[in-house]
Amino acid sequence: MNIKGIEHIAINTTDINVSTAFYTDILGFRKKDTINNGDSIITYLSLPGGSRLELFDYAGKNKRVPKQESDAGLRHLAFEVDNVDAHEKELRGKGVKIVLPATDLPHLGCRVLLFEAPDDVIIEFCQKI
């Protein structure tokens, strides 16, 4: 196998407009296209490094399922940043729910911040220390 990187990340949404606004207005990702698949709509956003984020809307059929941090499956999405503390301040100012405030994890060589995106998606900002 010759895996070159992440091409895209797909997230099912309960409200495509709320999710699109969060990822564009709060995180600064650029909206590319919206495609109608008939049974769903996909909005594509550009991620740093050339990857894409796909937001799926199934016309109200997407269900929210409560999930615990220790449940099996995807835990969070992590993005590398230069200054976790500055981002935490900005996110708080925009009313984003902080799950774990900026915290040093010296045994992992990083400082991290966890926050909640729409549809209970947890995002981590990670700064190398």
**Residue-level pLDDT at 52:** 95
**Residue-level pLDDT at 73:** 65
Q: Which helix (H) or strand (E) holds 103?
A: strand 98-105
Domain positions in the chain are 8-57, 77-128
Tens digits of residue pLDDT in 62-99: 667 777 777 666 778 999 999 999 999 999 999 999 99
Q: Does domain 77-128 have CATH number 3.30.300.130?
A: no
The CATH number of 8-57 is: 3.10.180.10
Same fold, 8-57 and 77-128: yes
**Residue-level pLDDT at 100:** 96
Q: What is the pTM of this model?
A: 0.88
